[in-house]
A and B are shown apart, each in its own frame.
Chain A
Amino acid sequence: MDNLENKALVKTVDLRKYYPVYGGIIKRVIGYLKAVDGVTLTISKGESLSVVGETGSGKTTLGLLLAKLLEPTSGKIFFKGVDITKSVPKKLRRKIRMVFQDPYASLNPRMKIIDQVVEPLITEGLRKDLAYDKGFKILESVGLDSDLAKKYPHELSGGQRQRVVIARALITEPEFLILDEPTSMLDVSIQAQILNLLKKLKREFSLTYLFITHNLAVARYIGDRVAVMYLGQIVELADKKSLFKNPLHPYTKALISAYPPPDPEKPWEPLVPEDIAVNPISPPSGCRFHPRCPYAMEKCKNVEPKMVHVNFEHHVKCLLYT
């Protein structure tokens, strides 16, 4: 659709990341770990896309690919219409930034906070005093007192550290922010603070988010659209309302049901698939979810479903709907 293409900030086409697995005495390649296996999606300017998945879904790998910290095995990535699959032109590099999961590990323990926040600008060649000016301003925007600037990471709380990481990402005035589980390691009350901060920053700085999380509730809160990933593929993609009102993919349904409502009077009936150990190196044939799917049909073992539109913004990869 022409309109959509114009507003697309980020586009991926059949993005794949395979890791070769070596085995045997002569260490030849015996298989591939298909971390990301054919992801095609379009992220519009100004939207917040949540990507949800459990361990092994490939969501973090997808984030790293989009942040250009990993080389894709095949497929394409476009940013503002420019093909950035092989390399990102200098002007655009500062426009795509990433926020990592562990606020303690992502900061250099031996460097002051403010020095780390301004580093991206110093590297770009900006004059020191101008860079530090911007640094203090950014710290303010993320709600940190300037007297914290001269401190070291271990002197800050978890929530404060995560704000520093966000500040460091925002200082280059990015348009696209990839956030990999930015609140998973924080307490519930602090998580709420940071999520609200992220919402505020998005409005203030006109950002576009790719928000990676394993927590469906957080995905619901922060995303406009939600993509559900399983074993390297997106199995359902829809706007928030449609996904939760009418989940289509059996995995999505299982995922939603697995969350207990914080209310003892409301029922908690998880319809959860068997937790059989799935080997990511040789995933099941046909539809990857079939061994665990309560609705599996005969053809699910052999035919790999393609992504279909069910409604305008609701896509699902399941033979029940083909």
Chain B
Amino acid sequence: MAVLEIRNLTVLYYTPKGLVKALDNVSLDIKNRGEVLGLVGESGSGKSTLGYTIAGLLPDNAEIVSGKIVVNGINILNSKEAGRACISVIFQDALTALNPVLTIGEQIAEVFIYNHSLSRKEAYEETVKVLEQVGLPRNFVNRYPHELSGGQRQRVVIAMALSMRPDLIIADEPTTALDVTVQAKILKLLLKVVKENNLTMLYITHDLSLVAHMCDTVAVMYAGEVVEYANVKQLFKEPKHPYTKALLKAIPRVDVDVEELEHIEGSPPSLINPPPGCKFHPRCPKAMDVCRRRKPELVSISGNRLVRCFLYG
């Protein structure tokens, strides 16, 4: 049984400008426990919407028009069953994710007391243990969020996510607001914690370089659709979809000298009035006639990979 199964998920936003199709018939899996799936895309790709939908945090003007999401066999779009699934979310902004008037210790202990029915004493023991796992000293139990640095707060949030012993962790750009040196430490920690505890994670980011080192599998999203899916090594070694290829060539590098960055012409398409056929075709260097007329399906190619492009079938 897959840890996460998404089938034909379509999510719309009602906005003054019209109906925004944020997710267009998305199907995706995280097959194994302990796997980290990277969800990568730019603005409007739908990656954050997907994260929020799974976490049940969509705003009022959003509507799940169709599809199903199953986590460890539990249908989480069914409000009666959904409560049984344990999904924890790590947001971008740790400061607002933490209650400013409670100490760190109290907030983490809360999770143990309410979710796992431990006694106060037991909860305290577990809290200290989990703080250790994220590299924070035990006296931090008495500190308040505003006394901590950004990186330390994010560690606390990770600790809380850990303590829930979740079926699935959704990390949505967890380090975008942090300096790059702090980011490196936090991500290394997150990965270590996830692997040590055999947790399953959906890692959402716009940064392909991070995906290369955090994830086992990768799904690339564009305009509300998954356009490519592969394991991480395959994706970077042999990207198939023209968008993935272009994206990789547009990243500036610290490790090598880049003579000329290749940029993608145009801008991301309107999600209210998307272009006909393949949504990427107006910007695609390899666009063919059929790309304008028909929508490509997500097809399976060698090595357990999926691509949505007429170049491949």
Contacts and interface: CB of A to CB of B under 8 A. Distances in A.
**A–B in direct contact per CB < 8 Å:** yes
27 contacts: A55-B179, A187-B42, A187-B206, A188-B207, A189-B250, A190-B263, A192-B263, A196-B263, A216-B180, A221-B258, A241-B257, A259-B209, A260-B184, A260-B212, A261-B212, A262-B208, A262-B236, A262-B253, A263-B236, A264-B212, A265-B237, A268-B213, A270-B184, A272-B182, A275-B181, A275-B182, A277-B152
Given A187-B42, A272-B184, A157 B254 contact: no
A196 B261 contact: yes
B43 A187 contact: yes
Contacts of A188: 42, 206-208, 247, 250-251
B40 to A, nearest CB: 10
Nearest to B207: A188
| Size range of the chain A interface in the assembly | 35 or more
Interface in B213-248: 213, 232-233, 236-237, 246-248
Given A221-B252, A258-B180, A262-B251, A159 B267 contact: yes
Central interface residue in B43, B206, B232, B255, by most chain A CB within 10 Å: B255
Interface in B148-183: 148-149, 151-152, 179-183
Contact of B181 (A195, A261, A266, A273): A273
Contacts of B260: 196
B253 A261 contact: yes
Nearest to A292: B181
Nearest to B45: A187
B246 A189 contact: yes
A193 B267 CA distance: 10
Interface of B: 42-43, 148-149, 151-152, 179-185, 188, 206-210, 212-213, 232-233, 236-237, 246-248, 250-255, 257-258, 260-265, 267-268
A292 to B, nearest CB: 9
Interface in A225-253: 240-241, 244
A273 B246 CA distance: 34
A155 B167 CA distance: 42
B152 A275 contact: yes
A286 to B, nearest CB: 21
A245 to B, nearest CB: 10
A265 B235 CA distance: 12
A320 B251 CA distance: 34
B185 A272 contact: yes
A306 B250 CA distance: 38
B213 A260 contact: yes
- Residue among B209, B246, B252 with most chain A CB within 10 A: B252
Contacts of A255: 180-181
A191 B250 contact: yes
B264 A193 contact: yes
A169 to B, nearest CB: 21
Contacts of B184: 257-260, 268, 270, 272
A109 to B, nearest CB: 16
